[in-house]
């Protein structure tokens, strides 16, 4: 590992401030200092970045291309510094320049090129791929505007554009030499190929854009490896010149310019909801076509037989969003390399693999034929042919069961079903937690599992301990290292060695004192951002994640309303003070989700200002939840709320970040919670609610009636009534829709999220939490055991499994010789 020279680094920072801004360090503002420091850090890693790619070429290693619409990277500077193990040297250098590293890190906007779980998982995976020394590209889109900024005004969410590139991105390198053309629209005609004498399909009268890549470094931990996140931007093809005026192509030139301008403009802020917008399909084909074209070109620079591309290249499809990749690869093989269909299909099968991240039916991607064939005429033809052959396979396998075709065809009911295409075309289909994979095999994708069981496998998600402990929680990271050494940083299994210290009173005290310090840090953040005073001695009970009905933030806030009623009824009741902390963005068009945000803020207003309860309950809604403030929030949590309706949360990854930071899970047996409980022991978690089997049974038999609960449970009835009687809003209709959804559900189906059904069991679990927390030694042990037992949930473990079982990659060692 190359050493960082403090003096050199200092003078680089000074030089950058000078050449970039014509200023001295004293004159420059914080943002300018950040830019200068970031450039100096980039200079330092560029040799490693080059050495990494040189090594890959020399060894001719297989490469995974992780295709994803989203990479929720967060801030880069702090993470790069810790992965370089440059913390101490850079911190000192910066202090000697009279600056403060924390302030500098705070200047960097989050790279919020993602919505939530799926995008953050992609970011953790890149960190692990580099740290483990696997050759990988992340391939995505350079959105001009990332995930919107959330501002809360009068309790309502307002969305503001996230202009993250305003000051430029010091870490990126534009690579115009690797630009490729991507074609949309027009029609397909058949031409005779002069060389082969065969028919050729050519797209004509299309519009095209130039896909231009920007590379971002992904630095491995202390190992010289720097992989690349390649995000594509669209530029107009240069037809807007005098020529086009002459040819009367003026109209087309303008249209192409507009196309280029719009494609990468903004990230769609929908999490788990398919909107079916034409621009979204354009985004998908745009980055997929560019990535696949480049991967094929790169492969062919060093090899002569395209038929063996699967030996060196694997495309991992992060959900169905990049599934057009299979058709794009077929197009390149058949149309450009003149490979016969059957052979092209086998090559494609061996090159593509698909990960499923959700079973929510509203998230399943289905595109109307009309739109699809108009936008991607040649790709559509290819998918039609894939479908024709796949339907024959289905009929051959199940000659008497017409239902199979109906349920499994790729094109059906006037729609292209992207999941069916991904499963038919790839060699691997994986779920993201054991329970989720079982549900895929036995329910959602049962027909596919029956026909192709060998494709199905599980890869339980993970998170990077380097960002979420080493960077986010330095006090706890130091404590762990002091106790057990620093092997946990690259092999989280070692953190189990902490277990023995859970019986040592001194260690427990130290651990809880660190938690306290982190709570003080979060309390300060809340004071600064919300103006609310919270007590760091209270239980910090936290639910941070996207807002979605299935995640049941509503259950949490209804329970707060219930507790508040209890306290009002019995002011002298023994009650351990609690701070309920929420953070969540709602998709801009998701009205009920926005209404739940308003409810949380309205309850906060009433409860926080009621002197009679003596500050025993506080409710805080943290504005603009994102990767950078998440790091502070996880570190400070006592209770991790993971309360989704069982079967609905594919895995969850926030649950793992809380566990790592010593918070205890309060959750349902859903997603990866099941495996968390298995690791830590059910006595060290608070589990409640319907099981996924019970939920699925209710869904089938329709025997759930929330009105029965409303009629028989007075406490629940009181809470529900308060939604519409003016307790929390003078506008009696403000929360009417929430009230109705709980009692009458939607479209004739009772509340699909079983909120009232699980309410009592949740409230009881919450009582167990309070009782456990009151026993300080017991709680400290539980909390510490959560940290100790989280080894399985490192994304390093997950990536090892992908690398060994799906991608078949070999590890690379990189030497820097300069």
DSSP string covering 328-348: HHHHIIIIIS---HHHHHHHH
Q: Among residues 316 and 653, whose Cβ is nearest to ligand 26W?
A: 653
Give the whole-angstrom CA distance, residue 466 versus residue 336. Answer: 43
Exactly one of 649, 679, 751, 796 binds ligand 26W (CB under 6 A); that residue is: 649
Is 357 a residue of the active site? yes
Kindly determine how many residues on this chain lie close enough to bind ligand 26W according to the rule CB under 6 A.
23
Q: Choosing from 183, 310, 357, 455, which is the catalytic residue?
A: 357
CB–CB of 26/36 below 8 Å?
A: no
Q: Give whichever of 590 and 779 is closer to ligand 26W, judged by the CB atom.
A: 590
Does the annotation count 546 as an active-site position? yes
Nearest CB to ligand 26W, comparing residues 90 and 418: 418
Work out whether 270 is an interface residue with ligand 26W (CB under 6 A). Answer: yes
Show contacts of 588-591: CB within 8 Å, 24+ apart: 588/148, 588/159, 588/269, 589/270, 589/275, 590/273, 590/547, 590/548, 591/737
> Contact between 68 and ligand 26W (CB under 6 A)?
no
DSSP 109-145: PPEEES-SHHHHHHHHHHHHHHHHT--EEEEEE--SB
Q: What is the DSSP string of 301-328?
A: HH-S-GGGGGGTEEEEEESSTTTHHHHH
Measure the CA–CA gap between 793 and 557, rounded to whole angstroms.
29
Residue 104 or 121 with smaller CB distance to ligand 26W: 121
Q: How far is the CB of 275 from ligand 26W (least distance, A)?
A: 7
Q: Does residue number 233 form part of the binding site for ligand 26W (CB under 6 A)?
A: no
User: Min. distance of Cβ 773 from ligand 26W in angstroms?
Assistant: 27
Asked if 461 interacts with ligand 26W (CB under 6 A), we say: yes
Which is closer to ligand 26W, CB of 671 or CB of 791?
Answer: 671
Shortest spacing between CB 71 and ligand 26W, in angstroms: 12
CA distance 688 to 644: 11
Q: Which residue is nearest to ligand 26W (CB)?
A: 117
Q: State the Rg of the chain over Cα.
A: 27
Contact residue for ligand 26W among 671, 689, 706, 791 (CB under 6 A): 671
Q: 602 or 665, CB closer to ligand 26W? A: 665
Minimum CB separation of residue 129 from ligand 26W in Å reads 16
Q: Does 319 bind ligand 26W (CB under 6 A)?
A: yes
- The catalytic residue among 230, 515, 585, 657 is 657
128, 358, 464, 729: residue in contact with ligand 26W (rule CB under 6 A): 358
Q: Which stretch binds ligand 26W (CB under 6 A): 76-84, 356-364, 442-450, 599-607?
A: 356-364
Give the Cα separation of 59 and 812 in Å (integer).
8
CA distance 658 to 786: 9
Under rule CB under 6 A, residue 652 binds ligand 26W: yes
53 is a catalytic site residue? no
Q: Cβ closer to ligand 26W: 433 or 492?
A: 433
All residues at 6 or more sequence positions from 215 whose CB lies less than 8 Å from its CB, including other chains: 172, 173, 175, 228, 229, 230
Q: Does 657 participate in catalysis according to the annotation?
A: yes
Catalytic, 653? Answer yes
Residue 792 in contact with ligand 26W, rule: CB under 6 A: no
* Segment lying near ligand 26W (by CB under 6 A), choices 322-330, 357-365, 394-402, 745-753: 357-365
Residue 642 pairs in a beta bridge with 667
- Other C-beta atoms closer than 10 Å to the C-beta of 525 total 15
Candidates 168-176, 395-403, 587-595, 646-654: pick the segment binding ligand 26W (CB under 6 A): 646-654
Residues 607, 618: contact at Cβ < 8 Å?
yes
Q: Looking at beta carbons only, is 121 or 423 nearer to ligand 26W?
A: 121
Q: Quick one: 145 or 564, whose CB is closer to ligand 26W?
A: 145
Look at residues 326, 411, 334 and name the one whose alpha carbon lies nearest to residue 367: 411
Within 10 Å of residue 320's Cβ, how many Cβ atoms?
25
User: What CA–CA distance (Å, rounded) separates 635 from 616?
Assistant: 22
Q: Are strands 226-236 and 180-184 parallel, antiparallel or unpaired?
A: unpaired
Q: How far is the CB of 592 from ligand 26W (least distance, A)?
A: 17
Q: Which of 584, 650, 720, 763 binds ligand 26W (CB under 6 A)?
A: 650
- Catalytic residue among 294, 551, 594, 789, which? 551
Angle in degrees, 0-180, between the axes of helices 87-96 and 6-21, rounded to the nearest 10: 60
As a whole number of angstroms, the distance between CA 698 and CA 521 comes to 44
- Beta carbon of residue 383, minimum distance to ligand 26W (angstroms, whole number): 18
- Residues with Cβ within 8 Å of 266's Cβ and at least 6 positions away in sequence, in order, are 143, 144, 145, 161
Show the binding pattern over residues 96-115: x = contacts ligand 26W (CB under 6 A), - = does not: -------------------x
140 in contact with ligand 26W (CB under 6 A): no
Among 173, 202, 363, 452, binds ligand 26W (CB under 6 A): 363
| Residue 329 sits in the site that holds ligand 26W (CB under 6 A) | no
Question: By the 8 A CB rule, do 689 and 646 touch?
Answer: yes
Q: How many residues does the chain have?
A: 818
Q: Is 387 in the site for ligand 26W (CB under 6 A)?
A: no
Give the nearer residue to ligand 26W in terms of CB position, either 564 or 793.
793
Question: Which SS3 state, helix, strand or coil, does residue 416 take?
Answer: strand
β-bridge mates for residue 317, sequence order: 67, 354
> Per-residue x/- mask for ligand 26W, residues 429 to 448, rule CB under 6 A?
---x----------------
Q: What angle do CA 80, 661, 583 make, to 5 degrees?
A: 85
Nearer Cβ to ligand 26W (613/685): 685
d(CA 341, CA 328): 13
Does 365 bind ligand 26W (CB under 6 A)? Our answer is: yes
Per annotation, catalytic residue among 52, 355, 502, 653: 653
Nearest to 541 by CA among 531, 555, 528, 529: 555
Catalytic (active-site) positions? 357, 545-546, 551, 653, 657
Q: Which residues contact ligand 26W by CB under 6 A? A: 115-118, 121, 270-274, 319, 357-358, 363, 365, 432, 461, 649-653, 671
């Amino acid at each position: 590992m190359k050493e960082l020279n403090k003096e050199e680094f200092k003078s680089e920072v000074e030089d950058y401030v000078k050449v970039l801004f014509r200023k001295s360090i004293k004159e420059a503002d914080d943002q300018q200092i950040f830019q200068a420091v970031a450039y100096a850090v980039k200079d330092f890693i560029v040799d490693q970045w080059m050495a990494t790619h040189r090594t890959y070429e020399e060894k001719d290693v297989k490469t995974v291309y992780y295709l994803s619409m989203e990479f929720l990277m967060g801030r880069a500077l702090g993470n790069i510094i810790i992965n370089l193990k440059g913390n101490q040297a850079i911190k000192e250098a910066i202090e000697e320049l009279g600056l403060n590293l924390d302030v500098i890190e705070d200047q960097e906007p989050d790279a919020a090129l993602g919505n939530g779980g799926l995008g953050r998982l992609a970011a953790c995976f890149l960190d692990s791929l580099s740290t483990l020394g696997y050759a990988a590209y992340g391939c995505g889109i350079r959105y001009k505007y990332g995930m919107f900024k959330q501002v809360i005004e009068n309790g309502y969410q307002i969305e503001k554009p996230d202009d993250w590139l305003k000051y430029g991105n010091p870490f990126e390198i534009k690579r115009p030499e690797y630009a490729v053309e991507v074609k949309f629209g027009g029609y397909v005609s058949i031409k005779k190929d002069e060389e082969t004498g065969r028919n050729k399909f050519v797209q004509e009268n299309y519009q095209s854009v130039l896909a231009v890549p920007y590379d971002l470094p992904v630095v491995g931990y202390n190992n010289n490896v720097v992989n690349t996140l390649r995000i594509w931007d669209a530029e107009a093809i240069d037809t807007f010149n005098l020529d086009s005026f002459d040819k009367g192509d003026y109209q087309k030139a303008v249209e192409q310019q507009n196309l280029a301008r719009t494609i990468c403009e903004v990230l769609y802020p929908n999490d788990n909801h398919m909107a079916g917008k034409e621009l979204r399909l354009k985004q998908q084909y745009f980055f997929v076509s560019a990535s696949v074209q480049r991967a094929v070109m790169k492969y062919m620079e060093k090899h002569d037989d395209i038929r063996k591309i699967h030996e060196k290249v694997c495309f991992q499809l992060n959900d169905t969003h990049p599934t057009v990749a299979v058709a794009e690869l077929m197009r390149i093989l058949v149309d450009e390399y003149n490979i016969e269909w059957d052979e092209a299909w086998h090559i494609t099968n061996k090159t593509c693999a698909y990960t499923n991240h959700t079973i929510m039916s509203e998230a399943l991607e289905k595109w109307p034929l009309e739109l699809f064939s108009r936008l991607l005429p040649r790709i559509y033809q290819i998918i039609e042919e894939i479908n024709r052959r796949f339907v024959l396979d289905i009929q051959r396998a199940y000659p008497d069961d017409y239902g199979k075709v109906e349920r499994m065809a790729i094109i059906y009911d006037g729609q292209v079903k992207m999941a069916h295409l991904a499963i038919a075309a790839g060699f691997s289909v994986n779920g993201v937690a054991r329970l989720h994979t079982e549900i895929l095999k036995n329910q959602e994708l049962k027909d596919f599992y029956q026909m192709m069981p060998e494709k199905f496998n599980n890869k339980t998600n993970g998170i990077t301990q380097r960002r979420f402990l080493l960077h986010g929680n330095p006090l706890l990271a130091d404590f762990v290292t002091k106790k057990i050494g620093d092997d946990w940083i690259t092999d989280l299994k070692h953190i189990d060695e902490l277990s023995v210290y859970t019986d040592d009173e001194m260690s427990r005290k130290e651990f809880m004192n660190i938690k306290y310090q982190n709570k003080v840090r979060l309390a300060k953040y809340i004071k600064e951002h919300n103006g609310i005073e919270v007590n760091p001695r209270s239980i910090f009970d936290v639910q941070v994640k996207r807002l979605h009905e299935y995640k049941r933030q509503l259950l949490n806030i209804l329970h707060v309303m219930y507790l508040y009623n209890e306290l009002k009824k019995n002011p002298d009741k023994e009650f351990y003070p609690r701070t309920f902390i929420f953070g969540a963005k709602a998709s801009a068009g998701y009205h009920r989700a926005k209404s739940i945000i308003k409810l949380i803020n309205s309850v906060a207003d009433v409860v926080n200002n009621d002197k009679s309860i003596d500050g025993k309950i506080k409710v805080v809604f943290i504005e603009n939840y994102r990767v950078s403030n998440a790091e502070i929030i996880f570190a400070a949590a006592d209770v991790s709320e993971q309360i989704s309706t069982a079967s609905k949360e594919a895995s969850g990854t926030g649950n793992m970040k809380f566990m790592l930071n010593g918070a205890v899970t309060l959750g349902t047996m859903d997603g990866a919670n099941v495996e968390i409980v298995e690791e830590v022991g059910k006595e060290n978690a608070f589990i409640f609610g319907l099981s996924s089997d019970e939920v699925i049974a209710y869904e089938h038999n329709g025997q759930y009636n929330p009105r029965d609960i409303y009629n028989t449970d007075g406490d629940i009835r009181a809470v529900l009534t308060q939604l519409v009687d003016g307790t929390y809003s003078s506008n009696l209709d403000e929360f009417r829709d929430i009230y109705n959804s709980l009692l009458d559900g939607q479209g004739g189906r009772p509340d699909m999220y079983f909120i009232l059904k699980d309410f009592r069991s949740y409230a009881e679990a919450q009582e167990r939490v309070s009782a456990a927390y009151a026993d300080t030694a017991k709680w400290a042990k539980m909390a510490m055991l959560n940290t100790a037992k989280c080894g399985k949930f490192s994304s390093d473990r997950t990536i090892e499994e992908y690398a060994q079982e799906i991608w078949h990659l070999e590890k690379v060692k990189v030497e820097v010789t300069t």
